[in-house]
Amino acid sequence: MRNLFYLFCLACLTFSMVSCEEENPIISGKITKIDVLTFPSFDENGDSWDNFQGLPDIYVKFNRGTDFSTGAEDTANRYDDAVSPGTFAFDVDWDLDVLGDTYTLGIYDYDLIDPLDGDDEMGKISFVPDDYTDESSKFNITSGNVSINVTVEWTRGE
């Protein structure tokens, strides 16, 4: 009888741990840090990003969707004379409100001399947060010459 009681308690404890996890799925996230690891060293014509200024001055843009035409957010800082590969860390506070949507991170070269032409897009990566919720709070996204580590704080539902 005592063994039956212990088995019953163990079964209840196991069930409650499993059901608790199922009742509290990840519902959103917040990107807290971006580490740019690699980016193309040259533009699509084989020229350096900053013909007159030296090496590129990189920063990161973020947006829901696959482009940066509206609503994009930029990092507050940039790294001057960046060389790839390297580790260029950006502390950010970007929301991932809809885990099934596509979000895009873009690496840009800041252009002081030619502001009419705009900053150069060096590369971008699109991702769906749902694809990474089973992983830890840090994951890597790589596409072509662009590699970025993303640190996320996941939020569980109640």
pLDDT in tens, 19-75: 444 568 999 999 999 999 999 999 888 888 876 667 999 999 999 998 887 778 888
Spatial CB neighbours of 109, under 8 Å, sequence gap ≥ 6: 49, 50, 56, 57, 58, 119, 120, 122
Residue 6: the pLDDT is 53
Q: In whole angstroms, give the CA distance from residue 32 to residue 53.
A: 31
pLDDT in tens, 72-129: 888 889 999 999 999 999 999 999 999 999 999 999 999 876 655 678 999 999 999 9
Name all domains of the chain by residue range, CATH numbers in brackets. Answer: 26-156 (2.60.40.150)
